Amino acid sequence: MPRGADLAALRESVAGCRGCPLHRDATQAVFGRGDASARTVLLGEQPGDQEDLRGEPFVGPAGRVLDEALAEAGIDPGEAYVTNAVKHFKFERRAERGKRRIHKPPTLREMTACRPWLAAELELLDPEVIVALGATAGKALLGSAFRVTKERGRLLTWSAPGPGPESGGGDGEGRGGRDAGGGEAAGAAWEGPLVATIHPSAVLRAEDDREAVRAGLVADLRIAAGVLD
């Protein structure tokens, strides 16, 4: 992790990250995409199959769902910064599915190993609102007790530890807090509004109730859009 790096330098360095074993099977690390002055940061879980191949976040089917939902909610997708809690694609190959690479959720250890990249990104971006897309993104920001079903669509506060005795080490749990200015937030490098919602791939997985699931995603994103008004 280079000190004093800008987003371009972080992107270059993450390519050589060996902080956890996921780099071994992934094609490449996928860093965030967007302008450093973006007002909104969208945080996903990890790159998917297409993102892994193309080296950019949310360029596959989930990205298309996300872009449409953002536009409907009043957030210009082109003006948001998109990134992931984990920068390498985790998958397994299943012979019975034509050797397709099937997504596997990251472990807490993998999320913790990747955390410094996310913390550095957020500190540089200093967004007006951050949207956690799904359970992994929520846990990466608010700890493992986070439940997207309970917290979605509400205005929360997230804070990141800055330099000082509170930062560094730890197990990746409990380092974020909803209590801005409180104990866990002491020395915060970044703190601000956070809205959690479902991951856009939940819309793709939905069958009979797909439109209702999609409408729920849009409704949650409208809460984030309200912060920008």
Which of 7, 22, 33, 58 is in the footprint of ligand URA by CB under 6 A?
A: 58
3-state secondary structure of 109: helix
Q: Residue 133 in contact with residue 200, Cβ under 8 Å?
A: yes
Is residue 106 within the footprint of ligand URA (CB under 6 A)? Answer: no
Which of 48, 77, 127, 176 is in the footprint of ligand URA by CB under 6 A?
A: 48
Which amino acid is it at 127? P
Is residue 77 within the footprint of ligand URA (CB under 6 A)? Answer: no
Q: Residue 184 in contact with residue 159, Cβ under 8 Å?
A: yes
Question: What sign does the dihedral 113-118-119-120 (CA atoms) show?
Answer: positive
Which of 14, 17, 26, 62 is in the footprint of ligand URA by CB under 6 A?
A: 62
In whole angstroms, how close is the CB of 3 to ligand URA at the nearest point? 27
In whole angstroms, how close is the CB of 45 to ligand URA at the nearest point? 4
Q: Which is nearer to ligand URA, 84 or 112 (CB)?
A: 84
78 is written with which tokens? 């082109």
Which of 32, 34, 44, 172 is in the footprint of ligand URA by CB under 6 A?
A: 44
Residue-wise burial string across 68-98, b where 16 or more C-beta atoms lie within 10 A, e elsewhere: bbbebbebebeebbbbbbbbbbbbeeeeeee
Is residue 216 within the footprint of ligand URA (CB under 6 A)? Answer: no
Q: How far apart are CA 50 and CA 65, in angstroms?
A: 14
Instruction: Single out the segment in contact with ligand URA by CB under 6 A; choices: 54-62, 104-112, 119-127, 161-169.
Output: 54-62
Instruction: Single out the segment in contact with ligand URA by CB under 6 A; choices: 16-24, 40-48, 152-160, 189-197.
Output: 40-48
In whole angstroms, how close is the CB of 84 to ligand URA at the nearest point? 5
Q: Which is nearer to ligand URA, 77 or 177 (CB)?
A: 77
In whole angstroms, how close is the CB of 46 to ligand URA at the nearest point? 6
70 is written with which tokens? 């953002």
Place of tokens 């996921």: 22
Q: Where is 161: in which H helix or E strand?
A: strand 155-161
What does the per-residue mask of binding to ligand URA show for 81-100, with x meaning CB under 6 A?
---x----------------
Place of tokens 């197990």: 171
How distant, in Å, are the alpha carbons of 11, 30, 59 from that of 15?
7, 8, 19
Would you tell me which residues interact with ligand URA (CB under 6 A)?
Answer: 44-48, 51, 57-58, 60, 62, 84
